[in-house]
Structure 1
């Protein structure tokens, strides 16, 4: 028996979870159902979502059934012994002939015990991430309208808010995998690390925030997560500065100083200043070296990093946070703090260079007196713009020989560093690489939500529903399409496409001002078509070609200056425009 391929979305329940951001249950119909040789039914919902089952019984008597829920599939059946914390559950249910029966998977105490875990509304019943269901004991036919998955999502999610399409089919699949991953993991109302724990972590939250901004119009979930994490911080050293990153990302995206102002003072506790040594650098004691300084996660992803009392990665995070908080001080009108933190940044940056840079190889060492040069000690300072311009080309070239030397978390910063330093083609190649350390590997595995790690062999207890693995959801709009906020609140945007070895790309980027539409083609000439929302202007930077060339806006030649491999238009554009770089 085959059900007609169908994807129904109808809001059935709206409820407040244990958090402020509203979430709801949505009816989703299966895309197919088949009767197995054993007489049981296999139902496929097409994608994994956090939910449970609602069954309508057409029978006049109570009917006991056994229901299996699965996140993994093997040899035509639900994998009942999946590795790690990939989800499988089974339960028995008795169908009611007169009313719908909600079938819940068994409760997992680890991810449903407050205060650590984030709770979903009790009236929903237990939720589990699953795609497939097997039903045993069902007599007669199974009709299309008799089984529904009740899936939990943010109640404000808009599937039409964002889009991405390019000349690379795999890249398009990667973006859609990552976009849906952000949607599916909104089930709890705040950003959580995955189903195993359902706990917010600062670094997870920041990466989730960046991708949420790039795929939807919501700003409240990031804010609710921020407020929760201020009350319930976690243990890694570098996770604390991520709170400054979250506040800064909110400011740049929204331009809302009213939200920022009452939270500003608490951000100072996230700078790691209490660990400053006599030279201004952040120091680590034995316990912090052993447990708190994280560099990357899981530990196997640290590129053999050597931990010392003065850690390059820890100090790079400290410098980035100082730079950001200086701007946040300016945003709320605190000129004293603005100057103070900028001075601290300048002084500490000089010391950072003196202690951590190894001039004999042109790379940064892992820490004070360390002889090892891990990838993280180089791509994180490079991404954070804390190293001199003169050293960036050498480091970028070296990183381009290292493959994917970090986790899905670290990849956010590695790929940012590559895009920001002219290695955009390599950045995209890392995403689509034919290896088990790429998003291509996730796509080809058949997963529909990004993983916690590149593969089970790198983190045997990983779960398969981790938003921190969805970095391309923000990287592709920000860099390949090239849309970033130049002024807080997107009053002015910067449109700077990175061709990345592609022949074309187009997409829709949500902003608080309204959506930006970008489409570009790269052949003998470079053509950028752009539509901006009302009230927004944009600084345009378009790739230059090899030959003598000029820049035209709506067929009229305009003034532009050359900066590295880009033409920067002298005047901003508004509304709808076509920008063309062509030869005489």
Structure 2
């Protein structure tokens, strides 16, 4: 997702030569020049005092406290003690014995999931008999998720008097809407209809007592869960069971946080009461079960357990078990809401029981996020548009949550732990999951880091580790998951572009030199092995039919997204090659990039629609990812860019962003699913194509939606139909790959980018649109690069740039479609038709000043 203007696509060495070869001519101050200097100074002085710290979301505190009590249930005394001074007490009486069905009672069902055999009564079966076996640990699980109605029928050998029944369900399969009917000897008679149920144990009272030998429960809707909408009923009790209500307190931390929960207990009763913790990023998916825990992958309980002692103690929730293999916890969590319940798993008895008394004096979180107080920022952004400002700092906070040390206990549990990463600072993909550094995520979150807190070792550690695990054929793994074997087709290209970014922003050419052989193997060995006779990458060649991509999409053949990204990677690699003195490699890669770009335009441009095809194979559709990157990578001509962007605006716009496909032929929700990850290059493309206002409008729909919906502030992994969580409770609500609004605003709207390693050369090209003014600092190894611009006040644009010593760059200012005069520090550099200084050039929409040296400069653009 690199930058695309002609200015930004120039190789490192060309920009360096232009900058270093320029000279600055000094002239005596004339009255006209003095007047221009005064007008420029007045325009900049008109701006309000800097207020960017107002938008900062992070904190330097390592301990974070909840901000309010969201709800309570059962016997809870002084719940507000957990957000202030005081002691909160949870109490629950021991339940009475449950009624039982007569011996010989059986059950049948419309279907049941039977991976381990079926109705055999064992704890590993999912047959209907589990609902009447008297064992609450077993359950009936219907076979087909999201398929209704699903029914369970109980048959007793003798008639039973029933005032009602009680349904005990699994917290990950609660029946929401269901009916209860009894058999009167000739017909089924509906005794109760339940809607909107969320209770794990639900007593259903009949209008009057019924004597019957058969009962049928018909489910028409289940509560959404992290495992799909299955029905999971553990027991049907023959009677109305009124157990003492579970005692719980739900705490709200105000925004998504990440780390280790810590609870200070004031003691507990002697009967070993247990405490269960459930976590969720949203209220929608807050139940007795967490919206996600790492133990979910192994069929765990979905909660963290602890049994406090009778004496006062402080417990930190870390991965492990308190009593042998009982009373276990997962440790680190990303969440906004924490539900603390007096409860225990049956399997944890006698070490923990679901009743007794527990006193809690304090709840906090040992945060593992990168500290993010205003004083930790090395770069910042501010503009006249408050909403844009807030989105920039929200995204920065999101990135803080995923910047953390790689620890075996906290990462993706599916064989992602790696001794070569343990103990190192990395950029994970999400706060709650997968908590594994994926290079596609680093492609965005790395830029966000470089522009905010500038701790580049977090990106370097990931990039270097993945290169160190490169396969012999040149393929680079996307992450450590699966012992570095997850087969993704596109992610080695993201490794190339992310490595380029890392060197551009940090100047670490030693990294580039060390891993240059890996770059060659990726581009000259592996990708040529999956290139077809058209000169295009084609998924399916060389055994890649089963490879995935960033969204594990079932795409095959010549895909625009893969090939446009290939063009960008080849150009980025050429820049690295030139910086390291490998001119022949640079020339070869640039030539290949031009060849691939030509093939994309020949075989994948859909002239009828005016946009690039998603794939040359299968149904006709057009992807946001391929079209956006084709423009950013310079594959598209200006006319093609305008046409493609117009099509995306018309065919993919949703109230919550732009969908990643224009129809549903690839996946069932393609025209409704929004990824900030693929929206970022489209937003870039709009800025770089002169459509700043449409870029801003898309930002506001996408980031405005995420900001204004629970959990607020943080940026979501993906958005589904009607603005929902696209993968339900499993969706990560704080995801680094969704933070592209930071580089979009700093690099594209403010307009400052590195063009040589470590900002040795840079470019400033504002894209203001309707924004009145903007300013910011970009951290560089040489010091801050400061940019401020404002529109109006007698000028088309007034721009101030302060560049650190040892750097130089090019400045491109918009003309607003007018014939303009451009002054630099009061001296005319462009007189409306000819260059007078800085080798100024015009492309019709911008005047570019070349070779601007370090120091402070003011550029004023006025209409003639």
- Residue in 2 that maps onto 1:421: 689
Is 1:527 matched with 2:798? yes
**1:220-239 aligned within 5 A:** 220-230=457-467, 231=469, 232=484, 234-239=486-491
Work out which of the residue numbers 514, 537, 546 in structure 2 matches 1:291.
546
SS across alignment from 1:534: strand
Higher helix share: 1
CA shift, 1:420, in A, is: 1.5
CA–CA distance in 2 between the matches of 1:96 and 1:491?
64
Is 1:161 matched with 2:374? no
Counterpart contact for 2:293–2:333, Cα < 8 Å: no
Work out which of the residue numbers 580, 586, 595 in structure 2 matches 1:338.
586
CA shift, 1:67, in A, is: 6.0
**1:128-527 aligned within 5 A:** 128-134=333-339, 142=361, 146-154=362-370, 159-187=376-404, 188=406, 189-194=425-430, 195-230=432-467, 231=469, 232=484, 234-271=486-523, 272-285=527-540, 291-292=546-547, 294=549, 297=551, 299=553, 307-368=555-616, 372-376=620-624, 377-389=626-638, 391-402=640-651, 403=653, 404-406=658-660, 407-433=675-701, 438-447=702-711, 448-455=713-720, 456-460=724-728, 461-523=730-792, 525=795, 526-527=797-798
Counterpart contact for 2:320–2:330, Cα < 8 Å: no
Counterpart contact for 1:357–1:363, Cα < 8 Å: yes
CA–CA distance in 1 between the matches of 2:434 and 2:458?
18
Q: Answer with 1 or 2: which has the greater Rg.
A: 2
Q: How many residues align?
A: 533
CA shift, 1:496, in A, is: 1.2
Instruction: Output the TM-score relative to the length of structure 1.
Output: 0.80
CA–CA distance in 1 between the matches of 2:754 and 2:564?
23
CA–CA distance in 1 between the matches of 2:597 and 2:801?
38
The 1:398/1:33 distance shift into structure 2, 3 A limit, reads: closer
Instruction: Output the TM-score relative to the length of structure 2.
Output: 0.56
CA shift, 1:149, in A, is: 1.6
Counterpart contact for 1:325–1:341, Cα < 8 Å: yes
CA–CA distance in 1 between the matches of 2:771 and 2:402?
30
CA shift, 1:468, in A, is: 0.8
- Residue in 2 that maps onto 1:52: 260
Higher strand share: 2
Greater Cα shift, 467-476 or 317-326: 317-326
Deviations 1:436-458 (A, max 9, x none): xx121110014333211024453
CA shift, 1:177, in A, is: 1.4
Counterpart contact for 2:820–2:861, Cα < 8 Å: yes
CA shift, 1:482, in A, is: 0.7
Counterpart contact for 1:243–1:270, Cα < 8 Å: no
Greater Cα shift, 154-163 or 518-527: 154-163
- Residue in 2 that maps onto 1:574: 854
CA shift, 1:209, in A, is: 1.3
CA shift, 1:369, in A, is: 6.6
Deviations 1:377-412 (A, max 9, x none): 432211211234553333333334342131222112
Deviations 1:27-84 (A, max 9, x none): 2344456895833345443332221133456779999773635333539x96545767
CA shift, 1:349, in A, is: 3.2
Greater Cα shift, 317-326 or 463-472: 317-326
Is 1:551 matched with 2:822? yes
The 1:454/1:184 distance shift into structure 2, 3 A limit, reads: same
CA–CA distance in 1 between the matches of 2:330 and 2:556?
48
CA shift, 1:319, in A, is: 2.3
- Residue in 2 that maps onto 1:23: none
Is 1:68 matched with 2:284? no
SS across alignment from 1:343: helix
- Residue in 1 that maps onto 2:64: 28
- Residue in 2 that maps onto 1:13: none
Deviations 1:276-317 (A, max 9, x none): 2234322332896753254x6264xxxxx9x45322222222
The 1:528/1:226 distance shift into structure 2, 3 A limit, reads: same
CA–CA distance in 2 between the matches of 1:50 and 1:450?
14
SS across alignment from 1:329: helix
CA–CA distance in 2 between the matches of 1:267 and 1:79?
47
CA–CA distance in 2 between the matches of 1:284 and 1:500?
39
SS across alignment from 1:394: helix
CA–CA distance in 1 between the matches of 2:611 and 2:509?
39
The 1:52/1:545 distance shift into structure 2, 3 A limit, reads: same
Structure 2 residues without counterparts, runs of 5 or longer = 1-56, 83-249, 297-301, 322-328, 343-356, 407-424, 470-483, 661-674, 831-839
The 1:509/1:81 distance shift into structure 2, 3 A limit, reads: same
Deviations 1:309-346 (A, max 9, x none): 32222222222222222222222222332233233333
SS across alignment from 1:183: helix
The 1:176/1:529 distance shift into structure 2, 3 A limit, reads: same
Q: CA RMSD in A?
A: 3.6
SS across alignment from 1:252: helix
Counterpart contact for 2:772–2:791, Cα < 8 Å: yes
The 1:337/1:67 distance shift into structure 2, 3 A limit, reads: same
